[in-house]
């Protein structure tokens, strides 16, 4: 896991948040890889496996996001303001 600070100097809370954030990145990468491979293959059977695996990664991503939301109050605030909003994208954010 990439580090900007020595892990021993960080609190248990920040170390756990870093673990979850890095895992979130890895789950999103896995979604991207499976999506590209599903799109590229001409083998329908392999495509169905790739699509299934890609969608499993979306569940993993969502679980990590929920962990982060529960443990990062500012992220919780932002997600409540933005996710599932009926506003146009241009109207969201600062």
Is residue 57 at the binding interface for Fe ion, with CB under 5 A as the rule?
yes
CA dist., res. 21 & res. 60, Å (int): 12
Q: Residue 24 or 57: which CB sits closer to Fe ion? A: 57
Query: Which helix (H) or strand (E) is 91 found in, with range?
Result: none
At closest approach, how far in Å is the CB of 36 from Fe ion? 16
Smallest separation, CB 83 to Fe ion (Å): 21
Radius of gyration of the chain (CA): 17
Residues 6+ apart with CB under 8 A from 2: 22
Q: Interface with Fe ion includes 37 (CB under 5 A)?
A: no
Nearest to Fe ion of 62, 71 (CB atom): 62
| Interface with Fe ion, residue 60, by CB under 5 A | yes
Residues whose CB falls within 8 Å of the CB of residue 48, separated by 6 or more in sequence, listed in order: none
User: Which positions touch Fe ion (CB under 5 A)?
Assistant: 27, 57, 60
């Amino acid at each position: 896991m990439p580090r900007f600070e020595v892990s021993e100097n960080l609190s248990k809370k920040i170390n756990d948040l870093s673990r979850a954030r890095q895992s979130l990145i890895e789950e999103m990468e896995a979604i991207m890889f499976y999506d590209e491979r599903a799109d590229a293959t001409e083998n329908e059977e392999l495509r169905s496996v790739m699509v299934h695996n890609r969608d499993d990664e979306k569940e993993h991503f969502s679980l990590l996001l929920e962990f982060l939301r529960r443990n990062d109050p500012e992220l919780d605030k932002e997600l409540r303001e933005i996710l599932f909003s009926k506003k146009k994208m241009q109207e969201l954010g600062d």
